[in-house]
Structure 1
């Protein structure tokens, strides 16, 4: 499943609105405090003018100290309010991260297991960690900083015009030109940001693909050819980025030159001096409005930077919302577990793309697995074998028809009910970063060490585990790693411990070496004893001794019956059985 990003800034902003819903109160309160802090920003300028007036009048020291104390109090109050606002937004950020992660986990707990096989774990990690981190700047800083960047210039300019409208016009003159250059720079920024995000995704994907296949690529001496896709992706990104940023850098340089401190000082002090000589204003008033003019570019830059953060956060929010809208399996309705364990596929059809009925993986398939028997499901690659196994384990729900166990539709069973009834051993066993004891006891956390060891012995993995330095307490993925065959036998031990009456084996020995394959086959024979078993395989060893055979081709049932009956009518099985 490919990762999606917003196709337009509007979709990103819509996603942001949904994502930020739980902390709108935090954001609103922080903005109110930021407005108060912005109003208090005029305190230094008011105090400066008042001190200049008192000095000109020859006022006593006490009056000047009073103004100074008032200034310090206003400054400290502004800092306090500012930091309270940031504290509120940071607590909001912590709350949002917790809420989003909780919602993701809860949502994915009800997602079809097939979603996890189709979706790269990196995508889930990106949303769970990287995308939430991407929103941090927007939540923890932008509400306060952007509000101040908007309100403070307005408040200080109003004060500048209050001092003298001509000085106010002088203070704002250079800023208008700078603001225009910033507007030109930001034009189309949303679309360009989305395109950059998409192109960076292409670079990451091709780099990951190359890294994964490096062993095979180097072995066959085609490094340059395989590296071509990555080079093309990086070249395309480089051309795009240079074409976008080159003109912006030149424009940015012009804008920065316009609001450079020496130039602003020269303009405001120079023109202001002429006004003083004309008797229109005092020099203290010129200095006050000049100081105001010097603060305006930083506010505009802060606003522009926050705008960029909004665009990046919009893309991240869209990915988070996509994950939060992951399809969920319908809620369970069965009041109890099946009392018998025969399995039936009743006119089952399924398409991996619900919007494309022409792309049907299995088409009106019906067959039965009598209780306590072993059924081999075979067919060419792409015939629908693994899809049937996925439907029985409820990785997905059928598009039409039903899969039942003991007459109970598996779609009506809760996850807990289903996986107490059905266990499965797949081609690629999944072990978690935990002790081998915990890996085996994953389906039965309350199992004793004796239960775990008994399952491991039956799965022919007990001796291998005891040979490890910490035995069953060895942590997989940190202290030790296992071969594919060993990991498969750990998975079989896990299935044995669950002791489910229905078992799905999906080519469980496909990648095992001969020694491991023999051990796995012994373990599987123990596991299958007394259970209703569906075996998927395309090698004679995997299906030897089964009770019945079902043959699929292109998603359709073409033969079923005992091995002898199917061998007589189906060339594919006859050739496979030898």
Structure 2
């Protein structure tokens, strides 16, 4: 977002500070989470995968049924084996006989059941893993596209690190939860119901004993879940704050060092880190209680079943195999309870992450692009047979002439404070327009409005007589080349950085652009020349990066050129070379030059002097000096400073 220099970028830095103080964050902390509503959004988002998920859940349920039937068959095998144990007949032990065929048959049934259980579980896990990763991939794609549709004012209040946290940590949390918890919930329900049915089928008294003991565990589990839910929400928020702070401090590392702000930065980080530690510790501790608690309930159930089962066996009410089956059913019955607890804890974490992700996806976007409006306007003009307007629209579809008009433009980053109050200007194609004024006068803001990075509060901006609001943003952007104060170099070769998104660029054009800005000798001195990779380890100076971005603008060859302090990072000699190249570049193009060094814009066709959002003077350099007004004061103050 390098274009958001000036007021917008300053506001973002101050509002986000060391991490996340934006309005969105404070609201998220204060308001209670609507778990059902958030999970409903997630379910609706995943509805395209519903058929595959249903198949996976059915397979999971079938595998659980096989698992539940196993202990009942094991009971039958146990009873067959006990028939062969010695029995007392008239005071003498008598050996019984074991039906080996029956035992073998039951054993084969058990093998088939457990093989089916393993196979269906594997297929279910494979399907769910595929679905969850698809969901995560789609979420990341939607967030990436959403970033391009958000107005810059969103990033004025939210740190970049927090946005990165949503596309990484929060999306990963959603994907992992869906993969681990959704299938687990279905199998747990099936296992719980199936175990309960089989327990009642075998013995009612022992089942009621197990239920009474398990009820205590369920009550404790619900209490713990209620306590831990808020800590999972706080953990995700604290994670976003921490990431936001780290991203900002890392990107501004040199400033932190230069101003000895390390201690303050560390203290702020420790504040966020402590918040993350406390919320993470509490949520993990409480969720960690689930497994020991349910193990305790399970072991207590063993004791209860053994005592009651022994009494019933002594009375001859049940066979020994029933006790063996119940020992397994107790484990199968209590296991879903702990799985429920773990799954719901994960779902709470998923809800916290989903709230942040869907909150981001539901943010207000820029006004709808004008594809349809543009096409209908052209048809309307064609019907009126106004050839001039038809020609203007036709050229905008390819390459604009470069006539630009600001008509009573009004704009404010916040509705209560207008930065641009009433700006009007007419610029003819090919003119070089310099915009000067004190810091905060609205110079860079005007450029951002011209590029449609922000929507106007009033008035209109036109290119070749066509309002920019009636043109798709992509078409507006295609008419401009920009060189900003803040350079932007991405991970790639020097050639790729210069060409960027411009198609069909020859190597000769790249070399010529670099020669024009005086960068070719340096590039050719590198071992790999134009194929040298630029990354974090690259040793390009600030001036060299600025030259590279100027060469990029030359390659784009757009009809309108914007130079926002383009020579601010270069020395005087390099500045002279760039000025010569820029003089060539601006020939036949409409140029907007924002400059603080007024000596660099003497040859401008028109100088617009701005102060407090309005044009207070306009004219050539000589005309403004002769007027002896605000511009003359600015120029003379710079000249006197240089002389001093």
State the TM-score, normalized to the length of structure 1.
0.90
Secondary structure of residue in 1 paired with 2:333? helix
Long gaps (5+) in structure 2: 1-11, 13-21, 84-96, 376-392, 637-644
> 8 Å contact 2:432–2:591 — kept in the other structure?
yes
In 1: Cα distance, 2:113 partner to 2:292 partner? 36
Where does residue 45 of structure 2 map in the other structure? 19
Long gaps (5+) in structure 1: none
1:70 aligns to 2:109 (yes or no) = yes
1:336 aligns to 2:397 (yes or no) = no
In 1: Cα distance, 2:179 partner to 2:401 partner? 56
Within 5 Å, which residues of 2 pair with 1:49-448? 49-57=75-83, 58-111=97-150, 121-212=160-251, 215-221=254-260, 223-237=262-276, 248=286, 255=293, 258-259=296-297, 261=299, 263-325=300-362, 327-328=365-366, 329-332=368-371, 333=374, 336-338=394-396, 340-353=401-414, 357-448=415-506
Secondary structure of residue in 2 paired with 1:352? coil
After superposition, the Cα gap between the structure-2 partners of 1:498 and 1:115, relative to the gap in structure 1 and judged at 3 Å, is: farther
> 8 Å contact 2:406–2:461 — kept in the other structure?
yes
In 2: Cα distance, 1:245 partner to 1:477 partner? 38
Residue 495 of structure 1: how far off its partner (Å):
1.1
Secondary structure of residue in 1 paired with 2:592? strand
What do the CA deviations read for 1:65-109 (whole angstroms, capped 9, x no partner)?
Answer: 111111111111122111211121122123323433443444445
After superposition, the Cα gap between the structure-2 partners of 1:494 and 1:112, relative to the gap in structure 1 and judged at 3 Å, is: farther
> 8 Å contact 1:485–1:512 — kept in the other structure?
yes
What do the CA deviations read for 1:150-181 (whole angstroms, capped 9, x no partner)?
Answer: 22012112111110111112222322111111
Deviates more, 1:221-230 or 1:364-373: 221-230
In 2: Cα distance, 1:342 partner to 1:550 partner? 16
In 2: Cα distance, 1:217 partner to 1:124 partner? 22
After superposition, the Cα gap between the structure-2 partners of 1:515 and 1:298, relative to the gap in structure 1 and judged at 3 Å, is: farther
Q: Which of 54, 66, 71 lines up with 1:45 in the alignment? A: 71
After superposition, the Cα gap between the structure-2 partners of 1:517 and 1:25, relative to the gap in structure 1 and judged at 3 Å, is: farther
Secondary structure of residue in 2 paired with 1:377? strand
After superposition, the Cα gap between the structure-2 partners of 1:272 and 1:485, relative to the gap in structure 1 and judged at 3 Å, is: same
In 1: Cα distance, 2:627 partner to 2:353 partner? 56
Root-mean-square deviation over aligned CA pairs: 3.0
In 1: Cα distance, 2:233 partner to 2:178 partner? 20
Deviates more, 1:553-562 or 1:5-14: 5-14
After superposition, the Cα gap between the structure-2 partners of 1:239 and 1:419, relative to the gap in structure 1 and judged at 3 Å, is: closer
Within 5 Å, which residues of 2 pair with 1:508-519? 508-519=566-577
> 8 Å contact 1:379–1:385 — kept in the other structure?
yes
Residue 530 of structure 1: how far off its partner (Å):
2.6
Secondary structure of residue in 2 paired with 1:360? coil
Within 5 Å, which residues of 2 pair with 1:24-35? 24-35=50-61
Secondary structure of residue in 2 paired with 1:424? strand
In 2: Cα distance, 1:553 partner to 1:160 partner? 84
Secondary structure of residue in 1 paired with 2:421? strand
Deviates more, 1:467-476 or 1:332-341: 332-341
After superposition, the Cα gap between the structure-2 partners of 1:122 and 1:480, relative to the gap in structure 1 and judged at 3 Å, is: same
> 8 Å contact 2:499–2:555 — kept in the other structure?
yes
In 1: Cα distance, 2:229 partner to 2:529 partner? 55
Residue 219 of structure 1: how far off its partner (Å):
4.7
Residue 427 of structure 1: how far off its partner (Å):
0.9
Residue 386 of structure 1: how far off its partner (Å):
0.8
Residue 366 of structure 1: how far off its partner (Å):
0.8
Residue 323 of structure 1: how far off its partner (Å):
4.1
In 1: Cα distance, 2:136 partner to 2:295 partner? 41
> 8 Å contact 1:548–1:562 — kept in the other structure?
yes
Secondary structure of residue in 1 paired with 2:107? helix
In 1: Cα distance, 2:329 partner to 2:556 partner? 73
Q: Which of 518, 522, 529 lines up with 1:460 in the alignment? A: 518
> 8 Å contact 1:427–1:507 — kept in the other structure?
yes
In 1: Cα distance, 2:531 partner to 2:502 partner? 17
State the TM-score, normalized to the length of structure 2.
0.81
In 2: Cα distance, 1:570 partner to 1:161 partner? 100
After superposition, the Cα gap between the structure-2 partners of 1:542 and 1:278, relative to the gap in structure 1 and judged at 3 Å, is: farther
Residue 288 of structure 1: how far off its partner (Å):
1.2
Residue 542 of structure 1: how far off its partner (Å):
3.9
> 8 Å contact 1:337–1:417 — kept in the other structure?
no
In 1: Cα distance, 2:217 partner to 2:533 partner? 59
Residue 492 of structure 1: how far off its partner (Å):
1.1
